[in-house]
Amino acid sequence: MSRLRFRLAALGIFFILLVPNSVSAKTIVASDKEKVGVLVYDNSVEAFQQILDCIDHANFYVELCPCMTGGRTLKEMVDHLEARMDLVPELCSYIIIQPTFTDAEDQKLLKALKERHPNRFFYVFTGCPPSTSILAPNVIEMHIKLSIIDGKYCILGGTNFEEFMCTPGDEVPEKVDNPRLFVSGVRRPLAFRDQDIMLRSTAFGLQLREEYHKQFAMWDYYAHHMWFIDNPEQFAGACPPLTLEQAEETVFPGFDKHEDLVLVDSSKIRIVLGGPHDKQPNPVTQEYLKLIQGARSSVKLAHMYFIPKDELLNALVDVSHNHGVHLSLITNGCHELSPAITGPYAWGNRINYFALLYGKRYPLWKKWFCEKLKPYERVSIYEFAIWETQLHKKCMIIDDEIFVIGSYNFGKKSDAFDYESIVVIESPEVAAKANKVFNKDIGLSIPVSHGDIFSWYFHPVHHTLGHLQLTYMPA
């Protein structure tokens, strides 16, 4: 039996390496015209509370992909699911979990709900299959954050709904000693600053259900086999049926009557999905590139990492230096308020600040030449500065008219290895809501001076460390 399993695994690896996958870049647009309700949240806790309240109004399907989850937040989701499923006999629920922070107690909760509703509750752990890249080995992860209630209410963004990752992030966190804060001997931040949105749309919600269940079936297949099939399109047809009439039947007053609700024409919204099966160029990266290149007045970025592909960095340099576009960036540094976990990538961020100010990266021996250059004034850079709190956002605002939010990081792993999604909303009113949060985040950050950027770049140790992080940082 062991010899047979070995041969099957070898055969699976052969097909993964040598048989090309069909190209399946996915952009979801609405086929029917409708007014899409959009809510822009200030922080993760607001979004999480809306998910719980929305579960309490579900009638048919709750489909959650909270990515990394566990602790108090997972328990609250399971408690709300159990209560609603007991009340509504037709309700079924699914959860896709990236299990990095899921402990034994979390697994007991999931197993208990499965035993209570064996034919109505389903969950899967995603795992981390190895990539097929020999020159740049890494692992493939399900990084999409997506929750769908009855094919109508959809929450997307950057938050991992886990106890210490789902926090307001705008105040100094309380010091606590909790074993959940340590993973493989590494201490995690006490808090995170993140952002999400909710859409009310059957046109998008029903299509997102199809994508969700492709992912669920793909990871469920991997959980029961020794090889990984990385193309979710090979699992099409796995979505349980839900009619348009059923989706429209569900009503969530907490969203529908919210004072900050914005209505947007469905033609002004698109959702872009990408993954390792898309190869290069990555469709999400390409969407970012197109939007940056089309900017006319401003680009505002709030991103955990600032280690983008060279194409994105060059596009940012070009629009700010050659087309009069003002660039504002909020990201993580490694100063006295930063959590220790930012250290492995923050110098990579900082090395890239220099390129934004001076047009490109120069060798160290050209310091004398760069001292004569004038840094570009249309670039403003900020480092998040709430004690022991990590900025985890993945947001962009273009020309105060377009808002982009999702799971995609400005790092090589999102581009080459992980499953990601972004929502692009062309709406000045939505952009204004996002701008309000962006300006608040500037107030929670410290401006980085031109002098610091110059001295960091030409400090031999910092320069070397930054370039090592740019080259080898796995994220």
pLDDT tens digits, one per residue of 438-474: 999 999 999 999 999 999 999 999 999 999 999 887 6
pLDDT surpasses 50 at 419 = yes
Q: What is the pLDDT of residue 471?
A: 87
Which H or E run includes 443?
Answer: helix 428-443
Contact 180, 101 (CB under 8 A): yes
Edge-to-edge strands, sheet with 35-40: 121-125, 92-98, 61-68, 146-149, 153-157, 196-200, 35-40, 262-265
pLDDT surpasses 60 at 5 = no
Percent of the chain scoring above 90 in pLDDT? 88
230 CB-side CA count, 13 A? 28
> What backbone phi and psi angles, to 5 degrees, belong to 42?
-75, -35
**pLDDT tens-digit profile of 76-124?**
999 999 999 999 999 999 999 999 999 999 999 999 999 999 999 999 9
Architecture of domain 266-472: 2-Layer Sandwich (3.30)
CATH code 3.30.870.10 for 18-264: yes
Query: What's the rounded mean pLDDT across residues 415-439?
Result: 98
Q: What is the pLDDT of residue 22?
A: 41
pLDDT, mean over the chain: 93
**pTM, full prediction:** 0.93
DSSP SS3 for 433 = helix
CA angle 91, 232, 64 (to 5 degrees): 30
Separation of CA 109 from chain center: 26
**394-398 and 298-303: which strand pairing?**
antiparallel
Q: Do domains 18-264 and 266-472 have the same CATH topology?
A: yes
Q: So where are the chain's domains?
A: 18-264, 266-472
Kindly indicate the confidence band of residue 11, based on its pLDDT and cuts at 50, 70 and 90: very low
Kindly indicate the confidence band of residue 405, based on its pLDDT and cuts at 50, 70 and 90: very high
pLDDT surpasses 60 at 351 = yes
Residue 338 to residue 389: CA distance in whole angstroms: 7
**pLDDT tens-digit profile of 323-347?**
999 999 999 999 999 999 999 999 9
> What backbone phi and psi angles, to 5 degrees, belong to 156?
-135, 155
